[in-house]
Amino acid sequence: MTAFLTKTNLFERGVGDYTMYRIPGLCMTPGGVALAWTEARHGRGGDWDDIDIVMRRSFDHGLTWDEPRRVVDHRVFGPGPVHNCNTIVDTVTGEVHALFCYHYARAFYMKSTDDGATFSDPVEITPTFEKFRPEYDWGVLAIGLPCGIQLRSGRLLVPVWLSVSKTTAHIPNRCSVITSDDHGQTWQRGELVPDIVPNNSETVAVELEDGSVLLNIRNRAGVRRRVYSISADGVGGWSIPQIDPALREPTCEASLLRYSWAEAGRSRILFCNPDNDAGKDAKGSEQFLTRRNVTVKLSYDDCRTWPVSKVIEPGYSGYSALAVCPDGTILCLFERGKPDGTDTDDYLTLARFNLAWLTDGADAG
């Protein structure tokens, strides 16, 4: 198999009716259509400005894309952000489930039955989050990024995080999940991950070979590494969070996706984030928010080790989202700065590559 890597800018700062685009999302529908979505931001482009959700579709595994269209308009809800959009592909019903938040205070659910061409009217699911209050009286809620997962049992699972703060800092915080066992009709809260490592927020999930669920969690405390917690059923009994020494953490979102199961030939899980340690400024102070070197890693043993690592973008780069095409091509949509390395979120760039490129031909699928 011939190795390949290509990059295409899907969204660009100042293009269209928006100041900028941040927070990439990506999935492959049961019908083989790739959906790429983002937060289209007005104002200064901040987390609390007016924000819509904009989407593009591809019918040829990410080679070409239709024009951007708004799928959630913030004006339906009022001034402020519509944010933290998360999709789950349902292989049982063929639907694409989508969850999003408004103003860090309310959560909504909608779905598509036609590969993202249209979505149902949003239904509010904030009452599911209200069930956390007796244990954790949150002031801010957020859906995890960029995607939820469907377990082999059929259960839909979405990581979430909560904060007792109502300020823009969003700390302190806790993470958990919400789940659905009836294909999105109703949602239930899971147990909170033990509050051992403080301030765990943006979280991604993957089902392991034994049916348990691993949460890979953004960490802003202590050793600058990702942390993880495991549950036997993806709902409760979360293990005490542990540091993954192989996954460096510049305090940023990451993406995690199962590529294949052992029964299909080999177990493979993909992970992507800005793979760099905190740097130091001229005075020796640590700069924890240096987001560079977006890198894809590959695990063959359910996230215990990451023997394969390949850099997609060595310059400024941040949030990412992964998807796998029916032919095995991997898509990665990620935030990227200017070609000169400027530290600004100027583009959402799509990388297309295959296992042969990722593994230098050692694992071509």
Q: At residue 285, does pLDDT exceed 70?
A: no
What are the tens digits of pLDDT across the range 4-13? Answer: 999 999 999 9
- Asked if residue 148 belongs to a domain, the reply is yes
Task: Give domain status of residue 364, yes or no.
Answer: no
250 located within any domain: yes
**Residue 319's pLDDT is what?**
96
The most distant pair of C-alpha atoms in the chain lies apart, rounded to whole Å, by 57
Per-residue confidence (pLDDT) for residue 197, from 0 to 100: 80
**Which residues fall within 8 angstroms of residue 55, CB to CB, at 6 or more apart?**
35, 36, 37, 38, 68, 69, 70, 71, 116
How much is the pLDDT for 273? Answer: 97
* Owning domain of residue 124: 5-358
In a domain, 244, yes or no: yes
Query: What percentage of the chain carries pLDDT values higher than 70?
Result: 95
Rounded to an integer, the average pLDDT of 263-288 is 77
The enclosing H or E element of 126 equals helix 126-130
Quick: pLDDT tens for 109-144. 999 999 999 999 999 999 999 999 999 999 999 999
Say whether the peptide bond before residue 30 is cis (omega within 30 degrees of 0): no
Cα distances (Å, whole numbers) of residue 172 to 41, 132, 223, 365: 25, 15, 17, 42
End-to-end CA distance of the chain: give it in Å, rounded: 9
Contact between 311 and 14 (Cβ < 8 Å): no
Is residue 156 left, alpha or beta, with left meaning phi > 0 and alpha meaning psi from -120 to 50?
A: beta
What tens digit of pLDDT does each residue of 22-45 get? 999 999 999 999 999 999 999 999
Note whether residue 336 is domain-resident: yes
Tell me how many degrees the CA angle 51-24-187 measures, rounded to the nearest 5.
80
253 found inside a domain: yes
The answer to whether position 365 is within a domain reads: no
Q: Is the pLDDT of residue 200 over 90?
A: no
363 located within any domain? no
Q: How many CB atoms lie within 10 A of CB 7?
A: 15
pLDDT tens, 54-82? 999 999 999 999 999 999 999 999 999 99
CATH number of the domain that residue 82 is part of? 2.120.10.10
- The per-residue b/e assignment along 25-39, b for 16 or more CB within 10 angstroms, e otherwise, is bbbbbeeebbbbbbb
Residue 341 has pLDDT above 90, yes or no: no
Q: pTM for the full model? A: 0.95
Question: What is the mean predicted confidence (pLDDT) over 157-164?
Answer: 96
Domain count, the chain: 1
**Whether the predicted pLDDT of 231 surpasses 80:** yes
Mean pLDDT value across residues 163-173: 79
Q: The tokens 């993909």 sit on which residue?
A: 270
Please tell me the chain's helix, strand, coil percentages from 3-state DSSP, rounded to the nearest 5: 5, 45, 50
Mean pLDDT over each residue of the chain, to the nearest integer: 93
pLDDT at 279: 58
In this predicted structure, the answer to whether residue 302 has a pLDDT above a threshold of 70 is: yes
Residue 5's pLDDT is 97
> Which two structure tokens, joined as six digits, stand for 178?
């919400």
